Amino acid sequence: MASKARHPFRRRVRPGVDAMPEVEISEADGIRSLHLGSETIQSSMNLEDPTDLVLSYSRAMMGFLLFNDAPAHILQIGLGGGSLARYIDFYLRDAQSVAVDINPQVINVARAFFALPEEGERFEVVEADGAEYVRIFRDSTDVILVDGFDGLQIVDALTTEDFFVDCRRALTADGIFVTNWWSGDKRYMTFLERLLGVFEGRVLELPSASHGNVAVMAFNSQPKLTRWAALEKRVDALEARFGLEFGEFVERMRQMNPLSERCLNP
């Protein structure tokens, strides 16, 4: 049950704050962005419409709505500037969500400068190591969204087989795991092979519209909708409801996952 997923977990297991990348903010043309120790943009917010998902990778991560448009509980590992948190709070009013980040500076900056939702019963921010925190869940979260970069690359602890196993245990029977990876990372295929093994081949890749990011979705059990035609029938209603380009999502998935129907329909 979603209510059991909340937990007073506050332990940090990584080195101190000094070992973490410095958080910086930039602003241009009405877009405020968060950076972690480099010029690379980790998260962006439209100052006139904070719920808008500015970056294409964050839009792609919400592609899971094609398969479950009414999750009761969502766990976010990696808060960043809170793009997903703001979107979920606005569009998924019946969902309870927890956002976990190991870097207290990220949390403080997000609260002060990135219009995070009010924290309470529906939304909570937890300072913790996400790879550790997910272990407290058992069959209790519908969606896990992982976006963990340290300023230079994907956080190693969020790509291990053990982490994927812990995430699968945390999911409800029909739960979905979603992670943001960069296709140019030389370790990408290694990560993908691990995920395929843990989730028994039930994996779909949804490339974002730009910058080489890929939203990789893994399913705890066979999705109810696995045919492209069935997904296409949902596109118009979902686009009207959520304001995202679901038609493009389906087409991009079809191009990148030509054998997916066979894999998801054994």
CA-derived radius of gyration, the chain: 17
> Cα–Cα distance between 165 and 198 in angstroms, integer?
6
> Cα–Cα distance between 48 and 44 in angstroms, integer?
12
Of 81, 37, 35, nearest in space to 58 by CA? 81
**Are the C-beta atoms of residues 132 and 11 closer than 8 Å to each other?**
yes
pTM higher than 0.85, yes or no? yes
In CATH, the architecture of 2-264 is 3-Layer(aba) Sandwich (3.40)
pLDDT higher than 60, residue 263 = no
pLDDT tens-place string over residues 205-242: 999 998 799 999 999 999 887 788 889 999 999 999 99
pLDDT value for 1: 33
* Residue 182 burial (10 A CB sphere; 0-12, 13-18, 19+): middle
Percent helix, percent strand, percent coil in the chain, to nearest 5? 35, 25, 40
pLDDT higher than 70, residue 266 = no
pLDDT higher than 60, residue 18 = no
Q: What are the CA-CA distances from residue 40 to residues 2, 36, 134, 185, 198 (Å)? A: 35, 7, 27, 15, 31
Q: What are the CA-CA distances from residue 140 to residues 3, 51, 172, 187 (Å)? A: 9, 26, 5, 30
pLDDT tens-place string over residues 30-81: 999 999 877 888 899 999 999 999 999 999 999 999 999 999 999 999 999 9
pLDDT value for 154: 85
What residues are labeled active site? 147
pLDDT tens-place string over residues 132-185: 999 999 999 999 999 988 766 788 999 999 999 999 999 999 999 999 999 989
Q: Collapse the DSSP code of 82 into the 3-class scheme (helix H, G, I; strand E, B; otherwise coil) and give the result.
A: coil
pLDDT value for 2: 36
> Cα–Cα distance between 221 and 123 in angstroms, integer?
27
**Are the C-beta atoms of residues 79 and 106 closer than 8 Å to each other?**
yes
Would you tell me the crossing angle of helices 228-242 and 246-256 to the nearest 10 degrees? 150
Give the residue with greater pLDDT, 229 vs 82: 82
Per-residue DSSP letter, 149: B
Categorize the per-residue pLDDT at 16 as very low, low, confident or very high, splitting at 50, 70 and 90: very low
Residue 115 CB contacts under 8 Å (≥ 6 apart), including other chains? 45, 50, 82, 86
pLDDT higher than 50, residue 3 = no
- Unique residue bearing structure tokens 């294409």: 56
Kindly state the average pLDDT of the residues 249-260. 84
Residue 156 CB contacts under 8 Å (≥ 6 apart), including other chains? none
210: tokens are 């730009």
> Cα–Cα distance between 254 and 242 in angstroms, integer?
21
